[in-house]
Structure 1
Amino acid sequence: MRKQRNLSDAEIAIVKAMLRKGWRNDVIHFYFNKPERLISPGRITQIKMGKYGASVEEALPEELETFLSAWQDSDAKPPPAPSPVDMKILRSMFIRETGAWRLAGGETDRTECKANFRVQPAESFSKALRAIAGLANNKGGYLLFGVTDGSFQADGLADETFAKSDVGLINRVLAGSLDPVPHITKALIEFGGKRVGVLYVEKHDHGPVVAIKNVGQDVKEGGIYFRYVGETRLIKPGELRQIIAGREQRAIAEFSARMGRVAIGKEATIDLDSGEVAGTSGKFVIDKALLPNIQFVREGDFSQTTGAPALRLIGDVEPVSEAERERTRVIRENVTPDAVVRNFLRNEKVAEPMQYIHFQAHAQRKWFPVWFYVDQTKLTVNGVVEDLRGQVATYPSSRDALVNRIAGKDAAFRQSTGKAEALRTKLVRGEITAPTDIDQDVVFAAAVQALPTTVKPKDLETIRKTLLHCLDRAQGADARSSSRRGSIYRAACRLDELLYAKKS
């Protein structure tokens, strides 16, 4: 029989942090009990009751995250952590006194109370918005509606507004007011016929969360709010430094974990000088001519890769010539307006076409190529439309305009006049002369916007390449360049319709 072992102070600190997050004892036990070192399940209970390691301080959230990032067991899968809105966890936060339910311990740095809930108008939600930002920047926690501030008594919500409010609407408010956007979970709990609304706010891994606009009297543009014990206020320098230090610690932990995976053969390395990709199971070489085009995808983001075409290696890899395969690249950039238009004008296939379509629901500009990406999804038009309608859009009007275009209710066509009309006539005849300056670019873009469906495909491809040169000349930061880009974007949309809409 193997001897039971004790936990170190550092491990006790981690256990306390897990308990604070509401993890079950058996889940916590899993992370510390090993064949070579058996830990009694009772140890976790003793720590929870303060009978073991009572003098040890609870680990910081960043220390728990570092522990979890570095934790590895190739032979076992940890059981799922409990939901933060599990009814047992929520009910344990309240105690019953003299016939009423009250929040045990009152407001802390993880709990804030509001008597009422209103998400619209925006001013009515400003205090809650401030609280959400503050919790996300600290340890995360609970925003409780229907609990009276001061007495902390669960008096219940006055009406059904919270129960009937779509979490998507709340997320849209968050997306339009805070960056990065905090993640919330909505729940309801009942005490003696009185219902309390719960928004659980997760600690944001990429904080600080910053207000991006003024909302009522409580949220100011550029403000960074932090949840202190009993209050949410603008962050102090010390806490801001802590958030930044936490990001650095996570980056180091992630790097160490990756290097560990390389060492044991679970990941490979690439030599950018030779093009050799080597791992324990073998190696292959990428042609040096392609190396300058290779960039990298952030850890964990491959399924979300959004900037340009991606190279996904599955199974055996054999050397091929560039002429035998369509050129692809792995890249790290997020989708940008320029990327959406430029990839279409270059006729470059992308790894995640739906990301380019989704982006258009989050952009203020209305005109971007879309059929090019719809064609790559292999989905039906109705399928893409339903997907878009289910998105939480930063700019709902942009999403609705996009849906109308895909449904055939709107188009980028616009009648040309003057010089643009004269040039349009030439383009229809196949007389394509590339513009040579920015003034000609504007006329050319206007003429393209008015093209009919009778233009020959080969002429459309020539116009496509010409528009790319126009876009290259419109990269200035001034208002005039922005206006030219808008005209070129709409011209690209018209080309997109002529080339791809009829195929979908």
Structure 2
Amino acid sequence: MAKPRRTADIAQYASEPFSDQNLATIFRFHPENPHRLITRESGWIEFKQTFSWGNRAEYAKTIAAFANSRGGYFVFGVKDRPRDVVGTDLAKWEATDPTTISEFLNQSLGVEIEWEGHVVEVRGLKVVVLYIREARRKPVIAAQSHKSHLVEGEIYYRYRGRSQRIRYSDLQNLLDEQRRDDQAAWLRVFRQIAKTGIENTALIDLATGHGLGPGSKFYIDQESLSHLKFIREGHFTEKGGAPALRLVGVAAIVPGALIQPERKVLVVRNIHLPEIIEGFLNRTQVENPLQFIKQVCFETSAYLPIYYYANLAGIDTLEKIAKVVEGVNTTSSSRKILLQRLVGQDDLSSPIPGANSREAGKRRREKLQALLNLELSGGDDSETVSSALEAIRCLTLEQIDEGYLNPLLLQWFGKYYTQEGFPDRFRRAIAHLDRLRYRPPE
């Protein structure tokens, strides 16, 4: 079988990655040596002799490269030179929970990576084969640094058996391809509108919750929203009893008198880290506070404001917040850490450094005093701001001046958030403020 280069070939591999035909393409043997492969590492195959969770950062780099390319196979149990099938230690593989692998990949790469793994018997030997699917949206960007293998902010691509930083031309092609896919999706929408007729078409404005079209309005009830999932056509899956709803074609117009009061209309929009942070610092009265809490479960860090949004939703106990988080269908580590925060592992405060502390402690002590004296500003340099963020965690509830701190943090967020080492300090600082000000009593 030819390598999966053409679109049809790629679709075949993606739909049946572990079929006998596809596995036979990977395991092609030398005619005179029953255990030696003639298959080489390529843009879609990587061989490793053993599987070890200690090498997970190295694996994540290759997995990111496959996801940014056309997908590919990661095979454990094949020597490098010569490429003999020797089998792998299944105990190490079976001791590693697939959920743990997914959590690490999601946290390290910032998006959910789709993969499948199976133990395959080849010439009487057991090997582990992972299939990594092509990412739905590209590029996949490293969200964290791990040793020398994974560097935060870098994009990896697959080149003839090697996973390395993407070249400019390939990145440009990747972005152009994503743009073409988006344009094609828009064209499909426009064709459907033309087929249906503009007079019979209405759109949902996710910024207002209203329907746009002749005489049409859509209202989503607060109580119903938690049971509603929007899905892509062709990607319908329902797991663990989680309800999913696909809206097709027609939405009935309900007389306004049946939905009272109008305040129940829920504003639905894309919520990500900037919206969570800015909503908290601006003390925005968001229409869907529970969705902000749920979104934290999908972010790369669980140390984000949650109690402010629980307060907006009228939730007054930690148990009720935990139920909201437990209802989120994800295996991400952020959800796990968030639940740990809710049962007590949530104290982010730092002790005030003593007068004779080391240099870093002295800087933090100085910045704490500067905060109390309202002396810091949005024009401070990054080193000053980093020490100030550490100092914020020394503040007590009585010392918090939201009118001064929140605008200052907003300026620092816009100016320095992308700098190395800054995001974690910033998130923990505002999570500390959120905990002091809005956390329900035990």
Give the 3 Å change call, closer, same or farther, for CA 473–322 of structure 1 in structure 2.
farther
In structure 1, the residue matched to 2:277 is: 338
Indicate if the aligned counterparts of 1:262 and 1:269 stay in contact, CA closer than 8 A. no
| Offset of residue 245 of structure 1 | 1.5
Residue 17 (structure 1) aligned with residue 7 (structure 2)? yes
1: CA distance, partners of 2:287 / 2:204? 25
| Offset of residue 249 of structure 1 | 0.9
In structure 2, the residue matched to 1:82 is: 15
In structure 2, the residue matched to 1:199 is: 130
In structure 2, the residue matched to 1:349 is: 288
Indicate if the aligned counterparts of 1:87 and 1:189 stay in contact, CA closer than 8 A. no
Give the 3 Å change call, closer, same or farther, for CA 365–496 of structure 1 in structure 2.
closer
Amino acid at match of 2:406: L
2: CA distance, partners of 1:338 / 1:132? 30
Give the 3 Å change call, closer, same or farther, for CA 195–340 of structure 1 in structure 2.
farther
| Offset of residue 334 of structure 1 | 1.7
Indicate if the aligned counterparts of 2:293 and 2:309 stay in contact, CA closer than 8 A. no
User: Which of 166, 175, 178 lines up with 1:244 in the alignment?
Assistant: 175
User: For residues 156-206 of structure 1, what are the alpha-carbon distances to aligned partners after superposition, in whole Å with 9 as ceiling and x for unaligned?
Assistant: 104521232122332343344435554322222112441111221122233
Q: How does 1:370-385 map to 2 (within 5 A)?
A: 371-372=310-311, 375=315, 383-384=323-324
In structure 1, the residue matched to 2:406 is: 471
2: CA distance, partners of 1:285 / 1:180? 31
| Offset of residue 104 of structure 1 | 5.7
In structure 1, the residue matched to 2:52 is: 118
| Offset of residue 109 of structure 1 | 1.6
In structure 2, the residue matched to 1:73 is: none
1: CA distance, partners of 2:435 / 2:411? 21
Q: How does 1:425-504 map to 2 (within 5 A)?
A: 438=374, 449=397, 467=402, 471-472=406-407, 474-477=409-412, 490-498=432-440
Give the 3 Å change call, closer, same or farther, for CA 21–467 of structure 1 in structure 2.
same
User: Which of 65, 73, 77 lines up with 1:146 in the alignment?
Assistant: 77
Amino acid at match of 2:339: V
2: CA distance, partners of 1:447 / 1:129? 38
User: Which of 313, 318, 332 lines up with 1:392 in the alignment?
Assistant: 332
Q: How does 1:208-357 map to 2 (within 5 A)?
A: 208-265=139-196, 267-269=201-203, 277=211, 279=213, 283-284=216-217, 315-319=252-256, 324-326=262-264, 328-336=266-274, 337-339=276-278, 341=280, 346=285, 348-350=287-289, 352=291, 354-357=293-296
Give the 3 Å change call, closer, same or farther, for CA 278–333 of structure 1 in structure 2.
closer
In structure 2, the residue matched to 1:56 is: none
User: For residues 301-324 of structure 1, what are the alpha-carbon distances to aligned partners after superposition, in whole Å with 9 as ceiling and x for unaligned?
Assistant: 9x9xxxxxxxx9964344589974
Give the 3 Å change call, closer, same or farther, for CA 213–380 of structure 1 in structure 2.
closer
1: CA distance, partners of 2:251 / 2:282? 24
In structure 1, the residue matched to 2:43 is: 109
| Offset of residue 408 of structure 1 | 5.2
User: For residues 105-140 of structure 1, what are the alpha-carbon distances to aligned partners after superposition, in whole Å with 9 as ceiling and x for unaligned?
Assistant: 3322211111122221xxx34443332222222211
2: CA distance, partners of 1:136 / 1:112? 13
Q: Per the alignment, in what secondary structure is the counterpart of residue 129 of structure 2?
A: strand
Indicate if the aligned counterparts of 1:177 and 1:211 stay in contact, CA closer than 8 A. yes
| Offset of residue 340 of structure 1 | 5.7
User: For residues 358-397 of structure 1, what are the alpha-carbon distances to aligned partners after superposition, in whole Å with 9 as ceiling and x for unaligned?
Assistant: 2577244587546446949999566456568973225x9x
Residue 183 (structure 1) aligned with residue 120 (structure 2)? no
1: CA distance, partners of 2:321 / 2:290? 19
Amino acid at match of 2:263: R
2: CA distance, partners of 1:232 / 1:357? 31
Indicate if the aligned counterparts of 2:303 and 2:431 stay in contact, CA closer than 8 A. no
2: CA distance, partners of 1:438 / 1:18? 63
List gaps (5 residues or longer) in structure 1.
1-13, 24-80, 287-297, 304-311, 417-436, 452-462
Amino acid at match of 2:288: K
| Offset of residue 146 of structure 1 | 0.7
> Which structure has the larger Rg over C-alpha atoms?
1
Indicate if the aligned counterparts of 2:294 and 2:328 stay in contact, CA closer than 8 A. no
1: CA distance, partners of 2:144 / 2:278? 26
Q: Give the % identical residues.
A: 20
| Offset of residue 257 of structure 1 | 0.9
1: CA distance, partners of 2:57 / 2:349? 42
1: CA distance, partners of 2:351 / 2:159? 59
Q: Per the alignment, in what secondary structure is the counterpart of residue 142 of structure 1?
A: strand
2: CA distance, partners of 1:101 / 1:374? 65
Residue 358 (structure 1) aligned with residue 307 (structure 2)? no
| Offset of residue 143 of structure 1 | 1.0
Range moving further from structure 2, 82-91 or 108-117: 82-91
User: For residues 424-475 of structure 1, what are the alpha-carbon distances to aligned partners after superposition, in whole Å with 9 as ceiling and x for unaligned?
Assistant: xxxxxxxxxxxxx9579x9xx9998369xxxxxxxxxxx9xx9578634542
Q: Per the alignment, in what secondary structure is the counterpart of residue 195 of structure 1?
A: strand
2: CA distance, partners of 1:98 / 1:389? 51
In structure 1, the residue matched to 2:64 is: 133
Indicate if the aligned counterparts of 1:277 and 1:283 stay in contact, CA closer than 8 A. yes
In structure 2, the residue matched to 1:428 is: none
Indicate if the aligned counterparts of 2:271 and 2:292 stay in contact, CA closer than 8 A. no
2: CA distance, partners of 1:232 / 1:146? 19
1: CA distance, partners of 2:103 / 2:218? 46
| Offset of residue 406 of structure 1 | 2.4
Range moving further from structure 2, 135-144 or 379-388: 379-388
Amino acid at match of 1:496: Y
User: For residues 265-315 of structure 1, what are the alpha-carbon distances to aligned partners after superposition, in whole Å with 9 as ceiling and x for unaligned?
Assistant: 38524899xx995558x53599xxxxxxxxxxx9959x9xxxxxxxx9964
User: Which of 82, 99, 105 lines up with 1:168 in the alignment?
Assistant: 99
2: CA distance, partners of 1:126 / 1:285? 46
| Offset of residue 248 of structure 1 | 1.4
Give the 3 Å change call, closer, same or farther, for CA 338–254 of structure 1 in structure 2.
same
2: CA distance, partners of 1:132 / 1:485? 28
1: CA distance, partners of 2:156 / 2:351? 50
